Amino acid sequence: MEELVKFEEEESSHEKNSGKVDYFLEMIQKSRRGKFKVYIGMAPGVGKTYRMLQEAHAMLKNEIDIVIGYIESHNRTETEALVAGIPNIPRKNIFYKGKKIEEMDLNAILVRHPEVVIVDELAHSNIEGSKNEKRWEDVIEILNAGISVISAINIQHIESLNEDVQEITKAKITERVPDSVLKLADEIVNIDLTADDLLDRLRDGKIYDKAKVAIALQNFFKQETLLQLREFALREVALHVERKISLDLPKNSYLKADRLMACISTNPDSAKMIIRKTARLASFYNCKWYVLYVQKPQESGERISSILGKELIANFKMATQMGGEVIKLKHHSIVDAIMDVAFKEEITFICIGAPRFHYIKFLFGLNILNKLLKKIVLAETIDIMVLS
C-alpha cells in the first residue's frame, strides 16, 4: 500500500514537472516569435507604404538587417524613390491562366532570415497554387520563424468591419483580414490625414493616374465616405491601445471577465452579421467569445440544402479566423441549448439577431426571444444583445 502511494506521488510530481517544462517551452517559443507592426489607413494614398520605407531607411542607418519582401508602389513617384537603397528579395514568377504574375517569395524570405521584413498589402489573396491562400498567412509563418514584420492595411479590409464599410462605400470588398491577425500586432499605427488633404493628393495625381481621378471622386473618395472611414481607423487604433493596456497592466482579481456568445442559424446573411458584430464587441471588451449553432431535428444533414450547409461551414471558418470558438449542438429546444452553453461557458452577453419581418419567421423568432428573455431574467448574471 505504501509503495502504491509512493508511486502515485512520484507520478503526480512527474506530471507537475512536465507541465512546468511545457509552459517554459511555450514561453521560449513566444519570445522567439518576430515582432509585428501594422500601419493602418482610412483609404489608399494616405502614405502607409511611404512611412514603412522611411522606417526601413532609419533602421538601415542603425545597422538593422531589414529587407523588402513585397512593396506595392502603385507607380507613385515619391514611394518608388524611397525603394532605392533598401535590400530587396526578388519576387517569384507564377504562370496563372497563361499570364505571368509576380508574388512574394515566402521561401526566399525564410531562407534569407533577415531581422525585419517589409510586407505590403496584408489583405492580398495569393495566386491559386501558392503555399498559403492569403498573404496574412504568409506573415504569420514569417513571424513564427522569428522574423519581425512591418505591414500595412486599409481599414476596409478588416473582417468585422466588412458589412459596415460596404454599406458606406457601396463597393464589394473581397480581400479581408481576420481581426485575430491584428490582435497579434505588437504595434498598430494609424497614418492619419484629413479628408481634404487626401482629396488634394488625389486631385494632384499622387494616388492614381489623373485619368482615374474623376471616377474615384464619384465613388470611394467622396468626402462623407472618407470621414466615416477615418473614424473607423481612429477607433481601431484606440481599441488596440486599450487591449495593450488591459494586457500589460495588472488585472483586478475580483473583476469577472466578460464572455460573449453569438447565436446563429442557417441563414447565411444574418449569421455573418451576428458573427462580425459580436467579434467587434469582443474586440472592444477584449474578451473571449463563442459562436453557437443549434441544429434542430429538421436541420439534419439530409434535410438541409448543400448550399446552406456550405454557407454554414464558411461562417464557422470565418468565426474561427476572427478569434471565436465555434460550438455546434443538436437539441430539440434552441432556448434550452443556449442557456445550457451560457451557464457552462460562463457567458455574460448573449448576442442574437433581431427577428426579421416575414410573418411566420417573425412570430417564431419573437417566441424564441421571449422565452430566452424569461430565462435570462431568472439567471441574473447574463445580459442579452439584440443585434439589428
Instruction: Give per-residue pLDDT as tens, 352-367.
Output: 887 654 444 444 445 6
> Strands (DSSP E) along 235-324, which ranges?
259-264, 288-295
Nearest Cα residue to 65 out of 8, 147, 180: 147
Same domain, 274 and 167: no
Same domain, 147 and 49: yes
Same domain, 264 and 376: yes
Tell me: the pLDDT tens digits for 185-210? 989 999 998 999 999 999 988 898 88
Same domain, 195 and 294: no
Is residue 236 situated within a structural domain?
yes
The residue whose grid cell reads 443585434 is: 387
3-state secondary structure of 166: helix
Q: What CATH number does residue 345 fall under? A: 3.40.50.620
Same domain, 363 and 324: yes
Same domain, 172 and 47: yes
Q: What CATH number does residue 199 fall under? A: 3.40.50.300
Geometric angle at alpha carbon 309, from 303 and 315, rounded to 5°: 145
Distance CA 173, CA 200 (A): 25
Is residue 16 situated within a structural domain?
no
Q: Which residues of the chain have pLDDT under 70?
A: 1-31, 245-256, 298-305, 355-367, 375, 377-380
Is residue 11 situated within a structural domain?
no
Same domain, 187 and 278: no
Same domain, 232 and 285: no
Same domain, 273 and 220: no
Tell me: the pLDDT tens digits for 217-251? 888 899 999 999 999 998 888 888 777 766 665 54
Q: Which of 248, 269, 294 is the last residue of a domain?
A: 248
Q: How much is the mean pLDDT over the chain?
A: 83
Q: Which of 203, 222, 248 is the last residue of a domain?
A: 248
Is residue 18 situated within a structural domain?
no
Tell me: the pLDDT tens digits for 287-298? 899 999 988 776
Same domain, 230 and 303: no
Per-residue confidence (pLDDT) for residue 364, from 0 to 100: 46
Is residue 20 situated within a structural domain?
no
Helices (H), 66-171: 77-83, 106-112, 135-144, 162-169
Report, in angstroms and rounded to the nearest whole number, the Rg of the chain calculated over CA atoms: 25
Total number of domains in the chain:
2
Please check whether residue 158 is in contact with residue 152, taking contact to mean a CB–CB distance below 8 angstroms. Answer: no
Q: Which of 189, 216, 248 is the last residue of a domain?
A: 248
Same domain, 87 and 235: yes
Same domain, 131 and 51: yes
> Strands (DSSP E) along 206-258, which ranges?
none
Is residue 290 situated within a structural domain?
yes
Is residue 9 situated within a structural domain?
no
Is residue 21 situated within a structural domain?
no
Listed in sequence order, the residues at least 6 apart from 29 whose beta carbon sits closer than 8 Å to its beta carbon are none
- Take residue 161 and report the three cell numbers written for it: 468591419
> What's the pTM value of the predicted model, to 2 decimals?
0.69
- Report the sign of the C-alpha dihedral through residues 106, 110, 114, 116, in that order: positive
Residue 341 sits in which domain range? Answer: 259-387
